[in-house]
Homo-oligomer: A and B are copies of this chain.
């Protein structure tokens, strides 16, 4: 049994960590911080947690207390993990950061997209990008994990087999992604009101989104060359889920695409390659850590289409964070992550 803390636990990824960790037999959530909700019990703020965590209350973030944890999750806006991670690591506490603070290796690019100087460039060297399907071994030995973003997870897992096999032109990638509204966080914004976001569909950030450099960096790591990616995210009237529709131009006879995907992910506990011809639904992963994929080659032509679905709060955030924790502490990789999706 290890002791973990959560910094910034009032947002959606924080409560999702609590929901999932309630089922984790090896983890004790000993501390959760929130400046604005100090003293409030988590089960009073989140009624789904009534009957769980009966005494756990939000506290002020205190580096010393956090340093007594075996691991600390950051469910914070960008910039916070920068200021605390170093001290925690020195105390021997592992850090699993769900924010964007350690995702980009290029600090200038980070500053451009996040509008401030990078606060902990000295830690970038050892930060590991927490996509187990690419970096499992590094994760096992990591002290500091940058949990991938939600869009980046779904896009990279979809392109991975094609890029590794060198089958598509990396300069002409198109990722058309659709997300439920929890991707926009729990902040009170007019555009996220039910009355505004329901019964409607729209793109956003078509000319640039913070996840673009993260995806591009990840695809470059696979491809070992520059990539040209057009990424258009869309807001979809649902609570959870990301559906990424990925387009690539074949550069060679791809052979059996279905077999390629099945083999690449044969041993992955959280990637499910669906049967040929399938169209995965986001609801099939509601609440769980699985990414379901299907690959199509319409009309046997030059364009390959990959359909990739995840739950943005689980495989796209808190579930993947726990998957990383499991790897770091030597637990079974799927510990606490075995429930089926809620459907219908």
What number of A residues sit within 8 Å (CB to CB) of B? 89
List the number of copies, as a whole number. 4
Q: How far is the CB of A177 from chain B (nearest CB, A)?
A: 10
Q: A188-B193, A206-B298, A343-B19 are in contact. Are A199 and B280 (CB under 8 A)?
A: no
Q: Are B189 and A194 in contact (CB under 8 A)?
A: no
Interface string of A183-218 (1 = CB under 8 A from B): 000101110111111111111101110000000000
The answer for the CA separation of A307 and B203 in the assembled complex, in Å, is 8
Chain B residue numbers with a CB within 8 Å of A51 are 272, 290, 340
Q: How far is the CB of A55 from chain B (nearest CB, A)?
A: 16
Q: Are B272 and A239 in contact (CB under 8 A)?
A: no
Closest to A290 in B: B51
Chain B residue numbers with a CB within 8 Å of A284 are 47-48, 50, 200
Q: Are B194 and A197 in contact (CB under 8 A)?
A: yes
Chain B residue numbers with a CB within 8 Å of A78 are none
Identify which of A26-34, A91-99, A132-140, A227-235 touches chain B: A227-235
Closest to A22 in B: B340
The answer for the CA separation of A2 and B199 in the assembled complex, in Å, is 35
Chain B residue numbers with a CB within 8 Å of A237 are 194, 236-238
Chain B residue numbers with a CB within 8 Å of A305 are 206, 230, 232
Q: A181-B194, A283-B199, A341-B48 are in contact. Are A234 and B243 (CB under 8 A)?
A: yes
* A49 CB-CB contact with B under 8 Å: yes
Which A residues between 249 and 294 are near B, CB-CB below 8 angstroms? 249, 272, 274, 277, 279-288, 290, 292, 294
Q: Are B174 and A49 in contact (CB under 8 A)?
A: no
Q: Are B189 and A192 in contact (CB under 8 A)?
A: no
18 contacts between A and B (CB under 8 A): A22-B340, A48-B283, A48-B343, A50-B290, A172-B249, A178-B234, A178-B236, A181-B195, A182-B195, A182-B344, A186-B195, A188-B190, A193-B193, A199-B286, A200-B241, A203-B279, A207-B296, A208-B299
